[in-house]
Amino acid sequence: MFEMFAKPSLITRIAVGKAVGFVFGLAGFILLPFFLPEAGWLIRWGIVLWYTTVGAIIGVFGVFTWHPVLKLPMPWWLRAPFVGAWMNFVLTFFAYDAMKAMMVATFGADGPLASPFWFTAEGAVVGFVIGYFVTRFGGEGKETVAR
């Protein structure tokens, strides 16, 4: 039944990454009105599409197990959280006002978690979970593209 998971595959990595990312995005879509009641449909759909895309990118990066410049190993548990954190860091720059409003509505203006850059840490956690599943079901390294 699960013969598709028997061999490492880049396509499987991307599909699993998109599926797990979609689950996180769907959770954000459903839960966002509880944290930011004035959140519009565009930001809610944007979260679904964002985490689906993050999952696909983490899936693609599973081909690289060594840093191309520094020649250091990059295991999945380092690579995936880094990609997730970086993507959410970039997202925070694009949607700073909406992220700030959500953090202030949730934690207060003077709370220790009021900075929207805490989404970077969230991205690392989400990236770790996505990285686990894509590596578990899709393998990693150059053998994922050697078909």
Domain ranges of the chain: 3-144
For residues 10 and 1, give the distance between their C-alpha atoms in angstroms, rounded to a whole number: 19
What pLDDT shows up at residue 24? 97
In this prediction the pTM is: 0.88
Q: What is the DSSP letter of 66?
A: B
What pLDDT shows up at residue 57? 95
Task: Supply 72's token pair.
Answer: 């250091």
Question: pLDDT digits over 84-128, tens only?
Answer: 999 999 999 988 988 888 888 888 888 788 888 999 999 999 999
H helix intervals, 36-75:
41-60
Alpha carbon 138 to its chain's center: 17
Question: pLDDT digits over 37-71, tens only?
Answer: 888 899 899 999 999 999 999 999 888 777 777 78
Question: pLDDT digits over 5-44, tens only?
Answer: 567 788 889 999 999 999 999 999 999 888 888 888 998 9
Tell me phi and psi for residue 113, to 5 degrees. -110, 25
